[in-house]
Structure 1
Amino acid sequence: MAITSVGIGSGLEVDKIVTQLVELEKAPLKTLEAKAETITSKISTYAEIKSLTDTLNTAAAKLSRDSAWNGVNISASNSNVAGAMTGIAQPGSYSVQVKQLAQSQTSVIGNGAAGVGFAKDAKVGAGTFTLTVGAKTFDITLTASDTLTTLATAINNKDSGVQATVITNADGTQRLMMRSKNTGTDAQFSIAATATDPGSTLGQIGSSTPGYYTVSQVAQNAKIELNGVEVESTSNTFADALPGMSLTVSTVSNSPTLISVAADTKAMKEGIQAFVDAYNALNDKLSALTKYDPDTGVKGLLQADSTTVSIQNALRMMTMNIVKGGGAFTRLSDIGIQMEQGGSLSVNDTDLTKALTDVSSLKGLFATKSDSLGANGGIGVNFKAFTDGMLAYEGTLNAKTDSLESSLKRNGTDQDKVLNRASTLESRLLAQYTALDVKMASLNALDAYVTQQVASWNKSTS
């Protein structure tokens, strides 16, 4: 009978023997798996470090720019005058009195001295209708069948800056209203007409017959008195009256409105606090990763990791840099920012608030540009440059991550090698024990036959 299961012929517990030998061959796998888990954790951790570094980079970059220190708040004593930033406005106070609002021109074409309307769909008459806006003229050719409605459509199609609309009275009669799209005297317009039939409506308009064409609202500029000086604008917004600021008016006023422009110290303070918070978040993370607890013997994941330790030391050193040529403040401690035990920064609100009264020196502390050698820059400039290098494509953090990912890949290769060796061993052992089983089965059969023959021989001899 053929052997169908390894161990039957030999009587040995082959499955158990093979399993134990294969497990011994796989023993290095546990060490490799544990190492892979550690490497994976480090890769994830460096991703967190990169994210925190990016936050610090953003906060430092903001403090390194002029815009962080040029911000102002604009307020008005009367809501009829509103100020808005258009650039870098200088702090100060301004008196604004609104004398006149800007308005657009409105003109009406009616019928007769009383300005009544034409009959519905009445014919205007053949000829040429000319619209003049500023220095530009727009000619419209009319036929005998054209009405106020077709004239309005033709005016609107000219894109002249004048909008035409047919308005209908309660009695059904119609008039043509034309209105400049923009306000101010630059947008005022006039009309002229040359008719084929002088007696037609178009002919009456062309001859300036009273009541056929009326300017119901004249175009005018807005006028204000700015610190007693009269200023005009074609709209109700004065974009260039004050450098870096625009003014918008809404109502004529009998008394001046006070416009105050003050440094936005609140935004500056928030920017500094955001920088401190970002620094502390990164420092705390690095401290937790590199610490060692002698009482418990627990090590941080990156304890003794040279890259992490180097980053932390460099960051702490930069907080103690002395900035020259920036003004009254030369170090962070001058504005109430101190380093605490463990490397974190703390902010003394009173000292910082006092420092915000000298915006120029505060700007110098953070935003002083580096020299030609890349040294002697402000705190914000230095931190931005350092974190830029860390975050660069070939920078510290990406290089470390790439190194860890390479190690993880090699670890995976080593695990595959262990598994392949174990698989090869298992196949070889099963082949050897299968051969042994066949041989043992053959010997067992021969033994049984010999025993049977001896027994028969003994019996026949007796």
Structure 2
Amino acid sequence: MGVSSVGIGSGLEVEKIVSQMVELEKSPLKALQTKATSIQTQISAYGEIKSLTSSLNDIVSKMSRDSGWNSVNITSSNTAVSGAMTGIAATGSFNISVSQLARSQTTMVGGAGGIALPKDQSMGAGGNLKLEIGGKSFDVEIGAGDNLTKIAAKVNGSGAGIQATVVANADGTERLMLRSKETGTPHAFTATVTTTPLTQNPGETAADFAARQAELADSTLAKLSMSEAQSALNAKVKMNGVDIESASNTFTDTIPGMSFTVSAITTGDALLTVKSDTESIKKNIQDFVEAYNKLNDLLSKSTKNVRDLNGKVDAKATEDGTGVLQGDSATVSLQNALRTLTMGTSGSKGSLRRLSDIGIQMQQGGKLTVDDTKLTKGLAKGEDLKALFANKADSQGSGGGIAVNFKSFTDKLLAYEGTFDNKTGSMDKTLKRNQQEQDKVNTRANNLQIRLYKQYSALDSQMASISGLNSYVSQMVSAMNNPKK
């Protein structure tokens, strides 16, 4: 708030004086701004720690569930037989031979004797197409002007589970193909066409009525015939010598936890083998180690000592965030707790009790390393390995496996109003108070500037008055000393 005229009357360098005094009043800002930058850096660091903790929580959550340890690989010696997981499948092998594939029923509809009809031939009479499938009956109304295309549309809209298609020949004739949408004998169907019965009209002669009946009997609808082109069949296999059938080519309830699908008739047995998916389990363990190491590295970097023996901070060492949480008790406690969890025993009574039993060792600085040879040996001990990580904790919260304990701990860290939320919330409040202090300093400095300019303006007025009086007195004295002649 500079006033260029201030200082003219007094002859003082008012701008310079006011500027220096205002800067002196603002001197606390530098320390406050430095502190604010430090808090913002800490908030950012905690955000990154929370993100890596969430990644660790994801993998230990997977490893704490049964499904994370029950995955299997299914292989087949013949491409005609393939398997797929549907639940928890036990390991084992099955000899499967295929003698028949499932198929849908197909019925062709044409004129008398099944011959094709001229394209767009109308039925010439009204009636009904009755479809019976799966113990249910569906009636499709047929109009005298309907052709095969219109009848097909009505069948497809009936909800009977039968697909109707008009099959056109090169000579311009056509037939109606009815096909069950699902395979197997439970989905076999019958199709029956009936014409609407005639009744003799009042006053109609017997001859006229007979003529109408003859016309009805000669209509296209009355002459429609059905011929089964393909019957419905179930798929048939022998599994380990036992005969089994399925309405579809996929056997869903034969082997608990898995299904298998057949696609061709075989001349011999196909060997379907179910083995534990150790590669998937191994990857989960490696992902756990990697997620833990990333979090541990960040915590180590954030709490690293960046002060010399005199307590001076090495500014260069802190440029990448190193030591930003040095001395923060919550962060140090978090790092120690995570390391303790890796060293704890599970509730398992099996041969694997610690991570070191499967080749996972903690190095100096808390980083974990994996001995692949020992881990491979541990993978062969399926139930013991599962118990090491996924054993359920008791009602007191003890006896849990490594993954179970990690999940319980990280869940609390990540929970709404949990450790991380409370910590960042506290830092946000500190940052807000810091900004309020900065605002107070700026307000005091602005008020001081306004007050000083007012004071110096008043001084200028007084000095100007004194200067004017001095000039007047000087003139009077000069006049008295030099009277006019």
TM-score by length of 2: 0.89
* Correspondence for 2:304: 291
Query: 1:318 and 1:144, CA in 2 relative to 1: closer, same or farther beyond 3 A?
Result: closer
In structure 1, how many angstroms separate the alpha carbons of the residues matched to 2:349 and 2:484? 125
Query: 1:308 and 1:254, CA in 2 relative to 1: closer, same or farther beyond 3 A?
Result: same
Equivalences for residues 211-360 of structure 1 within 5 A = 212-293=225-306, 294=308, 298=314, 300-360=323-383
Moved more, 343-352 or 149-158: 149-158
Return the offset for 1:386: 0.6
Query: 1:440 and 1:319, CA in 2 relative to 1: closer, same or farther beyond 3 A?
Result: same
In structure 2, how many angstroms separate the alpha carbons of the residues matched to 1:389 and 1:53? 11
- Root-mean-square deviation over aligned CA pairs: 2.0
In structure 1, how many angstroms separate the alpha carbons of the residues matched to 2:143 and 2:400? 76
Return the offset for 1:101: 0.5
* Correspondence for 1:192: 192
Deviation track 1:104-150 (CA, whole Å, cap 9, x = no partner) reads: 1111123344x422333053644433222132222334454443334
Return the offset for 1:343: 0.8
Deviation track 1:358-381 (CA, whole Å, cap 9, x = no partner) reads: 110111011111111112211101
Question: Which amino acid is 1:260 matched to?
Answer: T
* Correspondence for 2:118: 119
Question: Which amino acid is 2:464 matched to?
Answer: A
2:397 to 352, 374, 395: 374
Verify the 8 A CA contact 1:326 1:363 in the aligned structure 2: no
DSSP 3-state at the match of 2:260: strand
2:478 to 452, 455, 458: 455
* Correspondence for 1:139: 139
DSSP 3-state at the match of 1:70: coil
Question: Which amino acid is 2:258 matched to?
Answer: M
* Correspondence for 2:167: 167
In structure 1, how many angstroms separate the alpha carbons of the residues matched to 2:8 and 2:241? 116
Query: 1:376 and 1:8, CA in 2 relative to 1: closer, same or farther beyond 3 A?
Result: same
* Correspondence for 2:469: 446
In structure 2, how many angstroms separate the alpha carbons of the residues matched to 1:232 and 1:194? 36
Deviation track 1:138-190 (CA, whole Å, cap 9, x = no partner) reads: 23344544433343333223221122222232332332221111111011111
Return the offset for 1:96: 1.0
DSSP 3-state at the match of 2:302: helix
Matched, 1:387 2:386: no
DSSP 3-state at the match of 2:483: helix
Query: 1:311 and 1:189, CA in 2 relative to 1: closer, same or farther beyond 3 A?
Result: same
Return the offset for 1:326: 4.6
In structure 2, how many angstroms separate the alpha carbons of the residues matched to 1:375 and 1:385? 11
Aligned length: 453
DSSP 3-state at the match of 1:292: coil
In structure 2, how many angstroms separate the alpha carbons of the residues matched to 1:277 and 1:45? 19
* Correspondence for 1:412: 435
Verify the 8 A CA contact 2:111 2:223 in the aligned structure 1: no
Misfit runs of 4+, over 6 Å:
none
Question: Which amino acid is 2:260 matched to?
Answer: L
* Correspondence for 2:206: none
In structure 2, how many angstroms separate the alpha carbons of the residues matched to 1:286 and 1:193? 80
Verify the 8 A CA contact 2:123 2:221 in the aligned structure 1: no
Verify the 8 A CA contact 1:104 1:181 in the aligned structure 2: yes
Verify the 8 A CA contact 2:123 2:143 in the aligned structure 1: no
* Correspondence for 1:209: none
Return the offset for 1:426: 1.0
Verify the 8 A CA contact 1:326 1:365 in the aligned structure 2: no
* Correspondence for 1:13: 13
Question: Which amino acid is 2:98 matched to?
Answer: V
Verify the 8 A CA contact 2:389 2:402 in the aligned structure 1: yes
TM-score by length of 1: 0.93
Query: 1:418 and 1:187, CA in 2 relative to 1: closer, same or farther beyond 3 A?
Result: same
In structure 1, how many angstroms separate the alpha carbons of the residues matched to 2:177 and 2:428? 75
In structure 1, how many angstroms separate the alpha carbons of the residues matched to 2:164 and 2:4? 103
Verify the 8 A CA contact 2:413 2:420 in the aligned structure 1: yes
Return the offset for 1:412: 0.5
* Correspondence for 1:424: 447
% same residue: 52
Moved more, 94-103 or 173-182: 173-182
Return the offset for 1:454: 1.2
Query: 1:341 and 1:200, CA in 2 relative to 1: closer, same or farther beyond 3 A?
Result: same
